[in-house]
Chains A and B, each alone.
Chain A
Amino acid sequence: MNSKNKIAIPLTKAVVFLTAGLGGIGLISSSVYASLTAEASNTSGGTVTSGTLKLTQAPSTVVGLTDGFATSITAMAPGDTVRRYIDLSNTGTLDGDTVTLKAEPSVSNALTTNGTAGLQVTVNECAVAWTSAGVCTPGSTVVLSQKSLLAMGSAQSLTLSSVLAGSVNHLQFVITLPAGSEVTTNGALPVGTVQGLSTALTWTFTETMRAATTTDS
């Protein structure tokens, strides 16, 4: 036998041995570096709920003061005043921040566009329900000083006594047609008159949420 003829190992066998060797090394490495994990979780609580911000308005339930916004006001003469009573409630679970009021007319005419002779609105609040005679026993507060309907086309801030969740504001809407100084001559109404007109008002309250909070607990 020639010294050069060493033990010959077929190529295929060599590949098998090499692969097996590497696999073994891999298994050993895997065993060495296996990670350990541990978990902990709560077994109770952990519920997260979001609050709600809800604002509703409804006619007063006091007998004699239930006309609210839905009942029409007819044939107002210059100088007349009509008072309507609304309960504004924060029925959500979140406190409010600011509340505004806007009145949008269905038709534009002198009642709504004449800031002086047109309709005027004042809003008062009573800490308790108004009496059936429209009186606030502890004394009312003005939450919106007199504004023309023209101005009410833009949102006006109300200074309510409370905007907390669950609060109810007993509001009195004072709607007035100023006395003015119009003169009818032989049956003809003056130009630009506030007489003989009609419009439908949609009242919109808007409440913003209290400031967001960050708590550590």
Chain B
Amino acid sequence: MRKRNASFGLILLSALTATAGVASADTTATSAAGQSTTVSSGSIIVYPTATTTGANPNGAALTLLNTNQAQYFYIRNTGTVRIVSLTITITYSSAGAKTSFYHCGENILFSGLNTCASGSTTLVPNSGTTPLNLSPGSWYAFEIDTKKTVTPTISVTVSTSQIRPALDTSS
């Protein structure tokens, strides 16, 4: 019985040796430790907010005051990708509100009604796509002036087709 076990062991050892022999015919080159390629993707995070430093509402639209006076809000880019346009959707608590809608330049506040602290205002369409070159870490100030007492709600969307042109780099 002991002899039979010994024979089986020898056969098994031979099989393992043969397998190792085949495997050793391959040579492998692997990126050395610490030399793996870390790849990270950017993010498009753009949202409306009541202040220039407002936090990400994580999907919630911005509801302004119920008034017929001019109101101001901001659109921030806290992501890592510059955008070239965005889509602003304004809804009102009641129909029939006629609205004047403007923005100033990047990181420029309004200093008065329809007046920017620097440069001139830009008229914004009440709905649809708005060209806006908004860099990461920057914001735009908007003025919305309704002629009727309503509560405007602002929603902003950005698709991957509204970001800066694709980059193609060799290094």
Using a CB–CB cutoff of 8 Å, the interface residues on chain A facing chain B are 53-57, 64-85, 88, 92, 106, 111, 119, 133-134, 175, 177, 179-189, 194-209
Instruction: From known contacts A69-B37, A88-B29, infer whether A78 and B163 are also in contact, taking CB-CB under 8 Å.
Output: yes
B124 adjacent to chain A (CB < 8 Å): no
A183 to B159 alpha-carbon distance, docked (Å):
4
A57→B46 contact, CB < 8 A: no
Closest chain B residue to A172 by CB distance?
B170
B59→A186 contact, CB < 8 A: yes
B160→A206 contact, CB < 8 A: no
Shortest distance from the beta carbon of A62 to any chain B beta carbon, whole Å: 10
Shortest distance from the beta carbon of B86 to any chain A beta carbon, whole Å: 9
A71 to B167 alpha-carbon distance, docked (Å):
17
B5 adjacent to chain A (CB < 8 Å): no
A57 to B28 alpha-carbon distance, docked (Å):
10
B78→A182 contact, CB < 8 A: no
Instruction: Select one of B25, B27, B38, B61 contacting A200, CB under 8 A.
Output: B38
Closest chain A residue to B169 by CB distance?
A82
B37→A201 contact, CB < 8 A: yes
Instruction: From known contacts A195-B44, A208-B25, infer whether A188 and B59 are also in contact, taking CB-CB under 8 Å.
Output: yes
B40→A77 contact, CB < 8 A: no
B27→A54 contact, CB < 8 A: yes
Give chain B residues whose Cβ lies under 8 Å from the Cβ of A209: 25-27
CB contacts under 8 Å to A, within B111-141, are none
B78→A186 contact, CB < 8 A: no
Instruction: Select one of B31, B46, B161, B169 contacting A83, CB under 8 A.
Output: B169
Would you list 14 pairs from A and B whose C-beta atoms are within 8 A, ordered by A residue? A56-B29, A64-B170, A69-B36, A77-B164, A78-B41, A78-B163, A80-B166, A184-B79, A186-B48, A201-B36, A203-B30, A205-B29, A206-B26, A207-B29
What is the number of contacts between chain A and chain B, taking CB atoms within 8 Å? 191
A181 to B160 alpha-carbon distance, docked (Å):
6
Using a CB–CB cutoff of 8 Å, the interface residues on chain B facing chain A are 25-31, 34-48, 56-62, 78-81, 155-161, 163-164, 166-171
Shortest distance from the beta carbon of B36 to any chain A beta carbon, whole Å: 4
Instruction: From known contacts A82-B169, A202-B31, infer whether A183 and B41 are also in contact, taking CB-CB under 8 Å.
Output: no
Closest chain A residue to B61 by CB distance?
A186
B41→A76 contact, CB < 8 A: yes
Shortest distance from the beta carbon of B157 to any chain A beta carbon, whole Å: 5
A56 to B167 alpha-carbon distance, docked (Å):
30
A81→B167 contact, CB < 8 A: yes
Instruction: From known contacts A56-B29, A72-B38, A207-B26, infer whether A189 and B167 are also in contact, taking CB-CB under 8 Å.
Output: no
Closest chain A residue to B167 by CB distance?
A80
A85 to B166 alpha-carbon distance, docked (Å):
20
B158→A184 contact, CB < 8 A: yes
Instruction: Select one of B41, B47, B62, B171 contacting A77, CB under 8 A.
Output: B41
A185 to B168 alpha-carbon distance, docked (Å):
27
